[in-house]
Amino acid sequence: MGQSYTHLLIPVSKTYRPTAHLAAQFLEQVIRRGYVGEDYGMFFSSVVKVGPQPQEKRHGSTAFLAKLRALWTKSVEVRDLAAARRSPCRRPRRGPPISTPSDMIGLAENAEEYNVCVKSSLRPRKALMDIGSVEDAMWQPWPDAFGLDFFLRVRSSTVYVHYDIEGEQDASSSDHWNLVDMDCSDNGAVGLFSHPESPEPIRIPNAGCARAWIEVTYGKWLYPRLKDGSVKQLDRRATDLVCEVFQGDFIEACTWG
């Protein structure tokens, strides 16, 4: 099936929730500045809370998952994950395509929680970051078109944005609970993230929870290289755009799976 890289932008303020007008303004700038391909399409999904349940399998190294669980168990930041599993989790209800960012305003104002996605398959005019893939055991820049999903996720309360790798499942199994989108009472939670070039989990303070966040997911097997061990990959102009529109600071993180 292949692995996908997702880059996250998480507000420093865990209570921050943008207005529908700001969300539309941000996506308008993303499109206007060429950060998505010219063949882009837009989709709005309302999000509903449902009873807690195990999530789909995440494919990846079981040894890596075991390391993540061990690290989480030993960490002083361990929280009551059993309580988190009893919290509501979410499911999107995808609506019809929308033509412009302004079309989402009325939908967002009438939705307690929602996702809005801009998808494209052509190469954007401007790169958010340098991506590539491994060829002949070496990472090489990707010269061709690629798939790109640009999400803005907005919630009514603070939720987890990383995976529960302490879990109740056996370490030899690739099944484990997905903590993402479950209610979070710890606004200072440490986030545990992953990157294909990092053999160990990446611990990012104050990045475990949010009420709203941005996700950028690339086509299969494409990812940016770590820079001096850091996950900070975004082009400075893109980072400035996010901070300018939403009037706040954001933390970069990433997942691979």
- H/E stretch holding 217 reads strand 209-218
Q: What is the reported pLDDT for 233?
A: 92
For residue 1, what pLDDT band results from cuts at 50, 70 and 90?
low
**Residues of the chain with pLDDT > 90: what percent?**
66
Beta bridge partners of 140: 133
- H/E stretch holding 120 reads strand 114-120
Burial class (CB in 10 A: 0-12, 13-18, 19+), 205: exposed
- Kindly report the pTM of this predicted structure: 0.83
Average pLDDT estimate for 186-214: 91
**Which among 246, 250, 251 is positioned nearest to 19, based on CA atoms?**
246
Structure tokens at 22: 């700001």
Q: What is the reported pLDDT for 89?
A: 81
**Does 93 score more than 80 pLDDT?**
yes
Condensed to tens digits (0 to 9), the pLDDT of residues 204-247 reads 999 999 999 999 999 999 999 998 889 999 999 999 999 999 99
| Type of residue numbered 165 | I
Residues spanned by the domain of 56: 5-256
- As for how many domains the chain has, the answer is 1
Structure tokens at 80: 């009551």
Average pLDDT of the chain to the nearest whole number: 84
| pLDDT greater at residue 228 or residue 173 | 228
Q: Where are the alpha helices (DSSP H) in 75-113?
A: 81-86, 104-109
Average pLDDT estimate for 70-84: 46
**Does 197 score more than 90 pLDDT?**
yes
**Which among 155, 147, 127 is positioned nearest to 213, based on CA atoms?**
155
